[in-house]
Amino acid sequence: MDFHPSVHARNHPEKPAVIMADGRSLTYRELDEESNRFAQLLRARGLQIGDTVAISLENRPEYFSLVWGAQRAGLVFVAVSCRLAAPEIAYIAQDSGAKLLVSSTYLNKVLDEVAALAPSVPQLRLGGVGVHDLEAELAKMPATAIADERAGGDMLYSSGTTGKPKGVRVPMPEEPAIGAPTSLMMVASEVFGFTKDSVYLSPAPLYHAAPLRWSMGVHRLGGTVVVMDKFDPEHALQLIEKHKITDSQWVPTHFVRLLKLPEDVRTKYDISSLKCAIHAAAPCPIPVKHAMIDWWGPILKEYYAGTEGNGFTFIGSEDWLTHPGSVGRVITGVIHICDENGDEVPTGTEGQVFFEGGGVFEYHNDPAKTAEATNKHGWTSLGDIGRVDEDGFLYLTDRKSFMIISGGVNIYPQEIESLLVTHPKVADVAVIGAPDPDMGERVVAIVQPANLAEAGPALAAELTDWLNPQLSRVKMPRQIDFRDELPREPTGKLFKRLLRDEYKAAAALEA
């Protein structure tokens, strides 16, 4: 059986493949024809199987025409964040070896800078003019399939939260047929229950791995993807009611914002159509997940995996309620918890999480980073710290790179953040280690208050008093600062590196 939008275009041409939150839409027939035109354009511009195209777009229906066009042309497609600065986009375009950068006039000013920084990478833009006019170029192309269709795949870059972004390169699909089933699509179907009748809500930017890959998985099955241009908690509830959403993808930050809506807003929308709420990207604070299950029912399904595709764990609500805080048992690969020498530690002991036997990957143009992610046994890691209990459930402690060492004691910020974010006066929080002349590092909590007018010493004291009975003294923040907003991606991923660099620079000036 073929799992591809082109099949659904033949069988159900007028079925919506994409519905934007603002009402724009794309049928399967339109998706098929537009993706064919883009594949034809790629060939006309000399891009062949195995070449790379970069796509930097805001959320819009055409995103899917472009990625499916690249997929059926056998290309490697690189989804680039449209929130990056010109030097960052230029770096990814050049580092990936892209032979074309596709974007829109939404980024005109940035793209002009990119053109100066990366003149060897030609550009086409939706809404562009002259040599950059993508619509004009597509209009010249036939809406029929290219003669040499072959399945391509993505190469997605890390968001650079801990350093310069790196492309995660996975092998091209072994099966050349564009409609061959993929492992992620099989997980979507067999683990999460997606079907041709699924109506899937994607509230996050499509340039990230999970939104893009799960949305394409829905398209392979013939379902409909509803896309938000940006996340707003009440609007998400409105969309669930309006489109009778059956399946959805979230991150813990979304849940926190949903739960902080007033009770009358939370209860005014009919969300009874929702059968599956997937979440990942970061461990969810236990009180937050309990509250979501109380509200939505036992439909929350959590997984732990990375863009690298080297392993996959899963846990449903029922198992989570008996193993709170776990990210599940492995369903792809074998988990090993290892010490600093790469040797396994006893069950229940914390260590670095490695996978054996999962997908193969490498960091593009960075053999040192690839080697760093691989231990002496050949097992690979995403850099997370965790433990596995006697039932085989994995619990994540934090990322190794975020660990704070204060007075020789290892402190993981995630535990502190998970507590603080549940306080009713806290909208968001980041905990970092700042340089300290006596302790090496001190624990600093950077809080975005629910009401900015309350920011100050009185709120800091209130939060400290509230934390005291819940944390050991060594983990208590020695400093609480306030910000009107924290540097987060729309997916919820926090740019801790920016905060840590800021505090390091301030400490250096004081020295």
From residue 453, alpha-carbon distances to 425, 456, 460, 462 in Å are 11, 8, 13, 15
What does the alpha-carbon distance between residue 224 and residue 25 come to, in Å, rounded to a whole number? 10
From residue 1, alpha-carbon distances to 7, 178, 179, 462 in Å are 9, 11, 8, 60
End-to-end CA distance of the chain: 66
Q: Which of 494, 370, 376 is nearest to 429 (CA)?
A: 494
Domain ranges of the chain: 11-177, 224-400, 403-510
CATH T-level assignment (fold) for domain 11-177: Rossmann fold (3.40.50)
Residue pLDDT, tens place only, 153-212: 999 987 544 457 789 998 899 899 999 999 889 999 999 999 999 999 999 999 988 999
Residue 114, SS3?
helix
> What one-character-per-residue DSSP string does 24-67 give?
-EEEHHHHHHHHHHHHHHHHHTT--TT-EEEE---S-THHHHHH
- Tell me the pTM: 0.85
Cβ contact 230:490 at 8 Å: yes
For residue 496, what pLDDT is reported? 85
Q: What's the CATH superfamily of 224-400? A: ANL, N-terminal domain (3.40.50.12780)
Q: What is the DSSP letter of 116?
A: H
Which token pair is 400? 């190794």
Q: What is the DSSP letter of 344?
A: B
Which token pair is 352? 């670095």
Question: Please, which residues bridge with residue 334 across strands?
Answer: 356
Q: Do 11-177 and 224-400 have matching folds?
A: yes
What does the alpha-carbon distance between residue 54 and residue 90 come to, in Å, rounded to a whole number? 10
Largest CA distance in the chain: 69
403-510 carries CATH number 3.40.710.10: no
pLDDT tens by residue, the chain, 511 residues: 589 999 999 999 999 999 999 999 999 999 999 999 999 999 999 999 999 999 999 999 999 999 999 999 999 999 998 988 899 899 999 999 999 999 999 999 999 999 999 999 999 999 999 989 999 999 999 999 999 999 999 999 875 444 577 899 988 998 999 999 998 899 999 999 999 999 999 999 999 889 999 999 999 999 999 999 999 999 999 999 999 999 999 988 899 899 999 999 999 999 999 999 999 877 788 999 999 999 999 999 999 998 898 999 999 999 999 999 999 999 999 999 999 899 999 999 999 999 999 888 999 998 988 998 999 999 999 989 999 999 999 999 877 778 888 877 778 888 899 899 999 999 999 999 998 877 888 999 999 999 999 999 999 999 999 999 888 788 999 999 999 999 887 767 788 888 988 998 888 777 6
Q: Which of 493, 370, 371, 364 is nearest to 54 (CA)?
A: 364
The H or E element that residue 277 is part of is strand 276-279
Backbone torsions φ then ψ of 327, nearest 5 degrees: -105, 10
